[in-house]
Chain A
Amino acid sequence: MFDIKLDRISKRYFIWNDHRSRSALWPGFTRPGKRKKEIWALRDVSFEVSTGESLGIIGNNGAGKSTILKLLSRISVPTSGEIRIRGRLSALVEVGSGFHQELTGRENIFVNGSMLGMTRSEIVRKVESIVEFAGVREYIDVPVKRYSSGMYVRLGFSIAAHLDPDILLLDEVLAVGDLVFQAKCLDLISELRATGRTIVLISHDLGAIQRLCDRAILLHQGQIVHIGTPAEVIDRYQQMTIGAEATYHLVNDEWRAPASCSHISFAAAEAGATVRTGYPMFARFGFRARERLENVVFNIFIYWPSSYLCAQLTTAISEPHLRIAPGPGEVEFYCPVLEIQPGLYRVGVSIESNGDDIDRQERCALLRVHPGKMVFGDFYMDSVWRIT
């Protein structure tokens, strides 16, 4: 049974040239050929979400994610195509955006609640619980313009959380509030999901997509590129984004640095095997030195897709006073247990001498880690166990 069904949905926006803003300052002032530009935010998008399923939508900025959300929540209508929605749908988009600054928290619960589709009697029934969950009891009769931004968001989310939707749309709601509140939101969403509600989640947080969704869609330039399991789709997305950005200009002879990196490669210890979580891995760092160098350090940086540093391989800890002679050479790192989870990582390298970078290349290679020993969490922690 479907809850949401999109049938060949397209959405077109028009963008006007700034010089002809429609304020009619100069109604006759138009530059030929530069008047109106049409943009297809979505083109022939069709998919279904069945009851109780949670679907994640990922894609770059401008891929059409928010447009889908706007169409589903009826903020905007499609240019062509048809959407069928079975049941009550609520969107948790920028919670608290309907608040009136002059009104008190309690009054805003009524205004915002009824904007979200609750009846007055429903709100009267729920108002105590809303105040409780938001934790703003002392301030509930104070105008919300006096609220801190945290209280504002908590109250907004609490109202939305007290809806009883069949279908829940989420768009980056998890990016607001402090960590405790974020955890609270995530718990609530998991619980709603467990009670059979259909969820559509739009997020840049690939981890959240993987944790919360049964299925995912990858959008690119208004079209569906891939539908499948979150792991599959995230992998495809990472290939698309990181693959496009990676630069492989490693051999750098024109630059007369005292030493430079010439190549980098990763390999499993076992011949013929792929690099897998939980198994040994070799990382080989080729370099070329043009002079004798003292106190040399070789680094390999492994970055998450989000560009945060995930891990570092370095020679600095075991041998801070490494010396190298002119000529080519290679450093081989051996990791007995690869602890990072499957996925596609960016790799950067650097060579230091006496504390200064003499070569540094960000995002110069990719590391693909294949599924090996499977665990939950951000890392695989190698362990042994016994029953005592």
Chain B
Amino acid sequence: MNPPHTAGAHGSEDLEGGDRSNPSEPPASLPVSTRRLPEREHPLLGSLPAPPRAVCIICPPSFSPGAIVSAFVTLLAHRDLLYTLTCVRLSIRYKQSALGWIWAALLPLSTMCIYTLIFSRVARVASEGMPYPLFVFSALLPWIFFAGAVSAAINGMVGYSHILTKLYFPREIIPLSYVFAALVDFAVALVILGGLMAYYRIALSWNAFYALPLVVILLVFTSAVALFLASIQIRLRDVGVALPVLLQIGVFVTPVAYPLQSIPPRLQTLYLLNPVASLIENFRRVVLHGSAPNVPMLVTSGTITLGCFILAYGYFKVREGTMADII
């Protein structure tokens, strides 16, 4: 007797082929009419509008302006993920710690105390007529933001190896989320700075608003350094090992513990090529001294930062394609 189903499109033993390769014949029990309609069914979500389909081309990466721009556009499309991951950083960082958010203020404060003890009581460094704790704290904040963000971003990138090998999203979001989380800590510490200034009775001037572009430039520069070092750290873990030392050197080639004037004038130009140095100097000027920023310094640091960011981002995107292979 023949079975009720005759040999047809979906007989699992159809060796002749032909019929089976025809995709327009799904199992009879399922709807066929939804195909090629602007609205389509989803088994769990009901009928949805079918979005227009863009063609995406994947090819070996290259370093080109076009590639950088399109990568940046993709990054903007994933801004929700950047936001979510930044929130994750913030919410898990102080989980299972008794002091929680107080740490965001406590860390710079304790560093301030150490610096005050060494450079003000022992070494007697000049502080441009300001109380030394305030002098050092106003520069420590941007420095701690920079150093903290870079080291967290680099170590965090490797900690994500299990996701890097399983899921795709623009990889730069991982280091950037650490940078943005550090920015929130920076904002918390700014409140403490305000408190300290009130305590020492130092008035804030309108020039303090110049801090805003300074912080934006610092954010971009920090991102550039984080992206560049993170892409190297993926291949060579030496970066993570060497970083604490490098940052320790960094704090002494920026005017954190001492005023800019202590640098010999002929070396100052070279010294200020470091965007962090000139940004910190300007930050102290506008916030603490209430004076106008040094515009040439601002422009130079902005230009160098932009150049660094484009190079670092382009390099990161070229490296991105093989990160999952070598991590």
Contacts and interface: CB of A to CB of B under 8 A. Distances in A.
Query: Do A and B originate from a single complex?
Result: yes
Contacts of A194: 26-27, 30-32, 34
B166 A74 contact: no
Contacts of A179: none
Contact of B45 (A91, A97, A115, A162): A162
A277 B324 contact: no
A75 interface: yes
Contact of B43 (A84, A85, A188): A188
A303 to B, nearest CB: 18
A93 interface: yes
B169 interface: yes
B296 interface: no
A235 B13 CA distance: 10
B235 to A, nearest CB: 7
B88 A100 contact: yes
Interface string A48-65: 001011100000000000
Interface string B99-141: 0000000000000000000000000000000000000000000
A93 B59 contact: no
Contact of A70 (B30, B78, B324): B324
Contacts, number: 210
A70 B166 CA distance: 8
Contacts of B95: 102
A5 B57 CA distance: 10
Given A119-B80, A341-B12, A84 B31 contact: no
A342 B59 contact: no
A188 B41 CA distance: 12
Interface stretch (A106-114, A294-302, A314-322, A323-331): A106-114
Contacts of B165: 75
A114 B168 CA distance: 11
Contact of A54 (B23, B80, B162, B320): B23
Nearest to A380: B3
A195 B324 contact: no
B192 interface: no
A239 interface: no
A342 B7 CA distance: 13
Nearest to A50: B23
A190 B56 contact: no
B12 A211 contact: yes
A342 B35 CA distance: 32
Contact of A115 (B12, B48, B81): B81
Given A94-B166, A120-B83, 13 more contacts: A23-B238, A52-B24, A70-B324, A78-B60, A83-B57, A85-B55, A98-B166, A115-B167, A118-B80, A190-B27, A228-B21, A342-B15, A385-B1
7 smallest CB-CB distances across A and B, nearest first, come from: A77-B321, A194-B30, A87-B53, A196-B35, A191-B43, A229-B17, A374-B7
